Structures are given as structure tokens and as C-alpha cells.
Amino acid sequence: MFLQNLPNALSKNMRRDWPSLYRRNEELWKLQWAHHGQFSDLDCLEYYKQGLFFHKNCDVKKALEESNIHPSSDLINTNIFKNQLTPKIGVPELQCNGEDLIEVRCCFERNGMRTNCPQTSGHCREELKYLPVPTPTPPVEDPHTCPTGDNSLP
């Protein structure tokens, strides 16, 4: 696979706003490209820029902090949780594993405008836990690369 260097500003923003919690950043970004980006009408650099745009326009952490909802092992009513987010990011889609919230998704139109998600609670119970997110450990080596040419991963 041929690799192209990402611009420094883009890789810095990706490390800050799109870090991996469980693997090296480069592995996450390549996986996202392979599973989603290569099927879009964007090239790799534009795909990553679009991902950062979506993050900026769907800052779940900030929306929750402004609603005075903080990570905790306490249960919170799923509808209350969702209703606190809705005025700030639109109706989100919540993904849970049992009672643990694992993902909050924002939905966007193709033109980049935020919209309400059609499905709002994937596998979430009546109450959920908004647990603290582990702090990503900086990788020893973090090359800033973008796959080009053959868009498949080995």
C-alpha cells in the first residue's frame, strides 16, 4: 500500500479530536477509511477533514457538560439523557451495551447540515450509565499517513 503524508495541521487536529482509545491512532484512521471512507465520494484527505467537521458540529462531550451531565456509574433515564442533548446536537442515536452507553451518534444530511437521527436508541434500556471514557495513551510512534492508490487494507 502506498502512503501519503497528512498535512501537519490535519494530523494534529486528528490526534486531538479523533483519537483511538484502544489501538494506535493510525490503525483507527486506516480502519475508518477502509470501512467507510473508501465508499464515499471523497478522497482520503477530504474524508478525514469531513470527519473532523462532523466532530466539531457534534460535540457530545461539550453538549453534556453544558447540560450538567457528567460521566458517572449512576443510572440516568435514557429519555432525559437524550432530551438534554437534542437542543444542542439534534436527536441523537444512542448505542448501548447492556446499561452502558458506548456511543452517541449525530446524523447529518449529505450537505453537512445536522439532522435528527431516524433511529434513536439502539439496544439502550430505559436507564443507562454514561461512564467515563478512558484517556487514550499516546502511541510511541504515530505516523500521519493516508492510504492512496489501493484503498484496501491487507
Q: What is the pLDDT of residue 153?
A: 38
The CATH number of 59-133 is 3.90.730.10
pLDDT in tens, 117-136: 987 666 799 999 998 876 66
Find all residues with CB under 8 Å of 79, minimum gap 6, and list them.
Answer: none
Q: Mind listing the pLDDT tens digit for each residue in 79-88?
A: 999 999 999 9
Give one DSSP letter per residue of 46-96, joined into a string. HHHHHHHHHHHT--HHHHHHHTT----SSEEEHHHHHHHHHHHH-SPEEEE
pLDDT tens sequence across 53-72: 988 899 888 999 999 999 99
